[in-house]
Structure 1
Amino acid sequence: MPASWTFAVLRDDLRKPTVVEGATPVPDAGEALLRVDRVGLTANNVTYAVLGESMRYWDFFPAGIGPEWGVPPLWGFADVVESAAPGVKVGQRFYGYLPAASHLVVRPERVDVSGFRDASGHRAGLPSPYNAYRLTTGDRVYREDHEDLLVLLRPLFFTSFMLADQVADNDFYGAESVVFSSASSKTAYAAAYELRGRGPRLIGLTSSGNVAFTRSLGCYDEVLSYDEVDGLDAASVVYLDLSGVPATRSALRERFGDRLVRDIAVGLTNQVPNAEAAGEVFFAPVQMRKRRQDWGRDGLEDRFAAAWQRFAAAAGEWIEVRAGVGPDDLRRVWLDLVDGKVAARQGHVMRL
């Protein structure tokens, strides 16, 4: 394996990746060099690439080989292998937003016992949650034996946790039932796990091939395939759309009319943006800011950590972890994800 490498894809054709080899970066004064170690690879990472231009995800990790190429962002763990940054030491391990690459140079600021923020110039105008790196020894959520689950599920679970909190915070908008599309997706069933037993009936919609798996999770009161929408019966419904499939939204609107009290877009899958057609869009940082005001930063983190520990105990039985090593395995799994060939039960963890 080369000393340093970067995995990039054509921005306008995600099925065309390349691997660029080079010398190991050397940090300047105030910088640290991270060796990317363990990362998760899910459909969420393809979503980052699909929205790379509109949401500026391509801007986090410039490919350096031309504007037509982009480096997919991943979540995972990295170790400090060289540091010229005060307070950041060689050997420390951090969790955060990482490139599909062997190394990352960061410029740490606001360094404390919980971690740091990357103050690199090209990241200054980008969303701050993606610039935070958590030191494992100061992280309420971290457990060494949970690393695979953390790289696969933690970023999604944060969205799920805040989504469930917003729905419950609004008393389920007065609805009798909550309907999830893409119910076999990790974001959907994690939110359902949080809402289970707290009031309304939870109904999952998924493809016919994923019905059995989704039912086996026990997160939903009822699971139906998309072509069974006409069989749904509820006095009033909140729709949480994680699929972005126009036909599903149309079928629900036709079925329930005014009884569809909320239609909320939550990200996208299948590379189909869903926000434009929905009644509203869920954005996790908005609810996060509200809860920081309500509970304080420590209060929010304590609640999130407790929810994660509950969820991880269950999710460990649901996820079939598949391990890979290096750029060749990364390329293979990336193409499978882009083509929709990864089973809902599988989670791919890469050692880079």
Structure 2
Amino acid sequence: MDTTTTTATAAAVGWNLLIARDDLSIAELADAPVPEVRDGEALLRVDQVGLTANNVTYAALGDSFRYWQFFPASREGWGIVPLWGFAEVVDSRVEGIEPGSRYYGYLPSASHLLVRPGRVDERGFRDASPHRQTLPRPYNAYALTTGDLAYEADREDLQILYRPLFWTSFMLADWLVDNAWLGAATAVLSSASSKTAYGAAFLLQGRGCEIVGLTSRRNVAFTESLGCYDRVLAYEDVVQLPNRPTLYADFAGDERLTASLSAHLGDALVHHVVVGITNQEPGPAGTLAETGPGMFFAPDQMRKRTGEWGRAGLDRRFADAWQRFAPVAEGWVDVVHGQGPQALTQVWREVQSGRTAPRTGHVVIF
């Protein structure tokens, strides 16, 4: 690439969507210079992304789980929320990373991402940028569409909205079965209308444990219509749960709900694992002294299975599960498309405030 092109790239203006880390409802678009590309680097232009409650969880757990560190903001007290989607290479000084090629992966709420690709092959690459070296490795992987076993060109919207969530669903289901349900006869999933929860329920059906979904009363009918759960209850009706060994997969992070379950089930609550915090207020560690709530972190189970199956084996099993799930999930979501950074800002405010209907899936194109 000649000097003229480099100078033009560096002079171009992009944008970031900044979120106030102490008040996630505050969002602001800011101009940002497009980075200059040096040897060993590639520049991706963010093409299209999804925004779900999962991204709000990244922000809510941004400090404790280091999500803010993936795409550092230049302004103190603000953060750039990670999103999942597709990006196109617009400039590259790395062998095997070609301009015009398209990748799926973890992207900033921004116009561009500068990466330092490592382990480049026909499947994609890992970002080896120094600030990402100590961060969870699965988030640093970028899949080339032409080498991705799970990629389907006619289901890109579905992949954007569901695939990162379905990885968590897939690994959670695998972890539960791998650990013999931790001795439970019933598995209770809160926020049962959420994509991650019902993805896990889809995979766990008929695998040796009753699957009960808990949701708000207004979402009971939708959640029942999915057909993923053996039983669906409104949060107020947890007293209808049978007194039998029960595992609580907590997608809500609602301390009052946890207390209600604990009071009703007592010693029958054999395990409590936190998977998400859709109410954005995680309960304190130690809420359940005997069961000891722990945070389920999908990359931990991914590392275990990569060691046992190899990365190719894990990818193949995930692709098989995805290809079973995707055709069914298409009937469960109404994709709403937005255009441009202003639309992303509006969608963030809607999703962060909890106003999005369970059937709605937001995809923003740039």
Counterpart mapping for 1:113-192 below 5 A: 113-192=122-201
User: Distance between the aligned counterparts of 2:303 and 2:128, measured in 1?
Assistant: 21
Give deviations 1:70-93, integer Å, cap 9, x for gaps.
Answer: 111101100001111121101110
Secondary structure in 2 aligned to 1:347? strand
Q: Match for residue 38 of structure 2?
A: 28
Secondary structure in 2 aligned to 1:109? strand
Give deviations 1:13-61, integer Å, cap 9, x for gaps.
Answer: 2222111124433211111111100101001111111111222211111
Q: What residue identity is the alignment partner of 2:185?
A: E
Counterpart mapping for 1:9-158 below 5 A: 9-64=19-74, 66-158=75-167
Contact 1:226 1:248 in 2 (8 A): yes
Q: Match for residue 3 of structure 2?
A: none
Q: Match for residue 7 of structure 1?
A: 17
Moved more, 117-126 or 92-101: 117-126
User: Distance between the aligned counterparts of 1:49 and 1:248, measured in 2?
Assistant: 22
User: Distance between the aligned counterparts of 2:149 and 2:89, measured in 1?
Assistant: 20
User: Distance between the aligned counterparts of 2:22 and 2:152, measured in 1?
Assistant: 38
Normalised to the residue count of structure 2, the TM-score between the two structures is 0.92
Give 1:63 deviation, angstroms.
2.2
Q: 2:313 aligns with which of 286, 295, 299?
A: 299
Counterpart mapping for 1:191-270 below 5 A: 191-270=200-279
Moved more, 21-30 or 134-143: 21-30
User: Distance between the aligned counterparts of 1:42 and 1:22, measured in 2?
Assistant: 24
Unaligned regions of 5+ residues in structure 2, if any? 1-11
Give deviations 1:246-266, integer Å, cap 9, x for gaps.
Answer: 122122222221211211111
Q: State the superposition RMSD in angstroms.
A: 1.4
Contact 2:40 2:93 in 1 (8 A): yes
Aligned residues: 350
Moved more, 289-298 or 90-99: 289-298
Contact 1:242 1:268 in 2 (8 A): yes
User: Distance between the aligned counterparts of 2:176 and 2:205, measured in 1?
Assistant: 12
User: Distance between the aligned counterparts of 1:173 and 1:194, measured in 2?
Assistant: 17
Q: 2:325 aligns with which of 292, 311, 321?
A: 311
Normalised to the residue count of structure 1, the TM-score between the two structures is 0.96
**Cα distance change, pair 243–254 in 1 and its aligned pair in 2 (3 A):** same
Unaligned regions of 5+ residues in structure 1, if any? none
Q: What residue identity is the alignment partner of 2:334?
A: E
Q: What residue identity is the alignment partner of 1:315?
A: A
Contact 1:4 1:24 in 2 (8 A): yes
Secondary structure in 2 aligned to 1:15? coil
